[in-house]
Amino acid sequence: MNKTQSVSIFVLRVLIGWHFLYEGLVKISDPSWSSVGYLKSSQGPFSGIFIALADQSTTMVAIDFLNQWGLIVIGLALITGIFTRIFAFSGMVLLLLYYLCVPPWVGLEYSIPMEGKYLIVNKTLIEAAALFVLGVFSAGEQFGLDTLIKRKSAAATNLATG
C-alpha cells in the first residue's frame, strides 16, 4: 500500500471510529435513552424479532447496555487502530442490524422521519460497507496500534523460528 492509500484508509477508520464513539457516549450520558422506540418502529421481514425484543424489559436492559458500550468500544478501537479487523467486522454487524430493523425498502413507511431520502441504500448500509473495507484491508496497520501488535507477534514468530 502506498502512502496515499495508507493515509486514506487511516482517515476513513478514524472518521467512522469518531462517529461510533460519539454515538455511544451520547447514549450513555442520556439516562432516558433506550433503543425501545427504534426497535418498536421496526418494519420489514425481521420486524417480528425486533419488536418481540423490545417487548421484553429484561432483554432491553442488556440490548441497551451492549449497544452503548459496543459503540464506545468499537469507536475507540477504530480510532486507535487496535484489533481493527475484529472490531470493524463487529461494527459492520451492528450497523447491519440497525439497517435490517428499519430498512428503507419500497412499501415500508415509518412514523419516525428520516433525515434524507433513501431507496434500499442508506447511510447505515454505506457505513457498514466501509467497515467491511477497513476489515479487509487490515486498516489498523495503517497508522494504528495493530502495527505494534503485528511487529511483536512477528518478533515472537522470528524468535520461535529463529
Partner 1 sequence: MEDNNKKNQNPTSTKRRDIIKGMASLPVLGLFGIEYARSNHAESKGETVDMIKELGLEKDLGSISAKSYDKPKDTIRLGIIGAGSRSGSLLFHTGFAPKKSVEDFSKERLEAWMGYRDLNVVLTGVCEVFDERAERALAAGNNSVKAYSGEKNLPKVKRFKHYHDMLESDEIDAVIIATPDHHHVSMTVDAINAGKHVYCEKAPTRTEEEIQILAEALKDSKQVYQLGHQIRHNPIYPYAADLVKKGILGDVNLVEVTTNRNTPSGAWVRHVNSDGSPKSGDARSIDWELWQGDRPQAPFSIDRYYNWTKYWDYSTGILGQLFSHEFDAVNGILNCGIPATCMCSGGIYYYKDGRQTPDLVQAVFEYPDRGMTLVYSATLANSRGRGRVFMGNEASMEIGSSLSVTADGNSEKYRDKLDKKLIDTNKPMFTVGQNTGVDGVSSATQKYYVERGLTSVKIGDELKDVTHLHLKEWLDVIRFGGETSCNVDWAVQEAVILQMAKKSYLEKRQVRWDPVNKQIV
Q: Which residues bind partner 1 (CB under 8 A)?
A: 10, 14, 18, 21-22, 25, 29, 76, 79-81, 143-148, 151
Give min distance, CB of 28 to partner 1, in A.
Answer: 12
Are 95 and 66 in contact by the 8 Å Cβ rule? The answer is no
Q: Report which secondary-structure segment, H or E, holds 146.
A: helix 146-161
Distance between CA 127 and CA 134 in Å, rounded?
A: 10
Is the Cβ of residue 114 or residue 148 nearer to partner 1 in the bound state?
A: 148
Give min distance, CB of 156 to partner 1, in A.
Answer: 15
Which residues, other chains included, contact 116 with Cβ-Cβ below 8 Å and sequence gap of 6+?
122, 123
Is the Cβ of residue 14 or residue 36 nearer to partner 1 in the bound state?
A: 14
| Burial of 133 per CB tally in 10 Å (0-12, 13-18, 19+) | middle
Is the Cβ of residue 100 or residue 150 nearer to partner 1 in the bound state?
A: 150
Q: Which residues, in sequence order, are bridge partners of residue 121?
A: 119
Is the Cβ of residue 38 or residue 143 nearer to partner 1 in the bound state?
A: 143
Are 17 and 75 in contact by the 8 Å Cβ rule? The answer is yes
Is the Cβ of residue 93 or residue 148 nearer to partner 1 in the bound state?
A: 148
Give min distance, CB of 21 to partner 1, in A.
Answer: 7
Give min distance, CB of 69 to partner 1, in A.
Answer: 16
Give min distance, CB of 118 to partner 1, in A.
Answer: 27
